[in-house]
Amino acid sequence: MAGVNAPRTALVTGANQGLGRALAEGLAARLNPDDLVLLTGRDQRRVTDAAREVSHLPGTRARVEGRLLDVTDTDAIGRLADELRGRYGGVDIVLSNAVSRLLPHESQAERADEFIDVSNTATHAVLRSFGPVLRPGGRLLVIASSLGTLGHLDPRLHQRFDGASLDQVEYAVESWRTAIHHNTAAEAGWPRWLNVPSKVAQVAAVRAVAAARREHDLATGTLIASVCPGMVDTATSRPWFDDYRQARPPAEAARAVLDLVFTERLDPALYGELIRFGTVLDWHGGSPPEEQDRMVRP
Ligand SMILES: NC(=O)c1ccc[n+]([C@@H]2O[C@H](COP(=O)([O-])OP(=O)(O)OC[C@H]3O[C@@H](n4cnc5c(N)ncnc54)[C@H](OP(=O)(O)O)[C@@H]3O)[C@@H](O)[C@H]2O)c1
């Protein structure tokens, strides 16, 4: 990363537990004592406790500050970006990680608004607010999933996301939300399992923003991308799988993401793409995960 000698500011959303917490711990261990990690989350108590615990870990070197940030409050996302621009001249690392926990027995339709707000509306706000204040050499990574490639959706839906602008992605997400409310999502081809369109839309949003600033970012060693952390052993993912042997502990999953954050030699092929363990996943790849779709309640 550029700017290793100037103090850096890093921010992680949904960082009081799970992968986000491991990302905050890894940042705190790999950044310098002058650098600042903003560990953010929606609950003041959980955030304060997590920030205190991370700051006392033996490997922690950077300063760690807990900050309340409910990502469904898009104005708060904007205010925090403005604050960081005012206080530090911008931000160096943004990891957009928060997700709303959805359990297999819950109705997908009943949880759709919250799920979409946390994963998608918030991602759009993070890209819009933090993209412009990302410092040269910075990293803005959206934690998505390997489900985020276009092929996981019904072909009828591809044109909504393929080559779309951020406004168009936002429109597609809101159309999907409306179809769920009107009980017309299935006939339009939307899968039941919210995680699939949600992750595709996150990756499409990142692609849209990256396409508009690619040349400038590559010239300054800046990376905007989405990331798949692989299967991670967290309270959110555990109820979804019978066989959990392939799931990695959060600290291990975080390491691959942080290697991308701290890489000195940025491969231009990674820019704007969905990256899993350092490799680009084909945007057009994947097939609809029909088995999981049958598993979940409408
Ligand atoms: N686990 C996996 O196998 C896996 C696989 C692929 C991708 N991912 C992705 O990795 C990311 C992290 O997942 P995880 O498994 O670590 O989930 P997790 O353990 O449930 O953690 C989710 C975090 O998001 C926070 N959050 C929820 N709503 C929020 C809101 N409105 N504002 C701010 N924060 C909010 C939660 O806070 P509270 O503690 O307050 O609820 C929690 O800190 C997600 O983007 C997920 O899709 C995970």
Per DSSP, the residues of 6-21 read S--EEEESS-SSHHHH
How many angstroms does the Cα of residue 215 sit away from the middle of ligand 1? 32
Long-range contacts of 75-78 (CB under 8 A, 24+ apart): 77/122, 77/125, 77/126, 77/129, 77/130, 78/125, 78/128, 78/129
Taking alpha carbons only, the member of 58, 56, 57, 76 closest to residue 67 is: 76
**What residue owns the CA closest to ligand 1's atom 28?**
100
Q: What is the pLDDT of residue 4?
A: 52
Residue 285: inside a domain:
no
Q: What is the CATH number of the domain that holds 29?
A: 3.40.50.720
How many folded domains does the chain comprise?
1
Residue 223: inside a domain:
yes
Helical ranges in 16-70 per DSSP H = 18-30, 44-55
Residue 111: inside a domain:
yes
Residue 77: inside a domain:
yes
Residue 207: inside a domain:
yes
pTM over 0.95: yes
For ligand 1, say whether the CB of 102 is within 6 Å of any of its atoms.
Answer: no
E strand or H helix that includes residue 209 = helix 195-220
The answer to whether the beta carbons of residues 136 and 250 sit under 8 Å apart is no
Q: What is the pLDDT of residue 134?
A: 98
Residue 1: inside a domain:
no
Residue 293: inside a domain:
no
Residue 119 alpha carbon, nearest atom of ligand 1:
45
Q: What is the pLDDT of residue 146?
A: 97
Residues spanned by the domain of 174: 9-280
Check residue 297 and report its DSSP letter.
B
- Compute the distance between CA of residue 7 and CA of residue 4 in angstroms, rounded to an integer: 7
The residue whose CB lies within 8 Å of the most ligand 1 atoms, and thus the one to mutate among 38, 40, 46, 99, is 99
Query: pLDDT per position in the chain (298 positions), as tens?
Result: 544 568 999 999 999 999 999 999 999 999 999 999 999 999 999 999 999 999 999 999 999 999 999 999 999 999 999 999 999 999 999 999 999 999 988 999 999 999 999 999 999 999 999 999 999 999 999 999 999 999 999 999 999 999 999 999 999 999 999 999 999 999 999 999 999 999 999 999 999 999 999 999 999 999 999 999 999 999 989 888 878 788 999 999 999 999 999 999 999 999 999 999 999 999 999 998 887 777 788 8
Residue at token pair 């800046």: 222
How many angstroms does the Cα of residue 261 sit away from the middle of ligand 1? 19
Residue 61: inside a domain:
yes
**What residue owns the CA closest to ligand 1's atom 42?**
14
For ligand 1, say whether the CB of 66 is within 6 Å of any of its atoms.
Answer: no
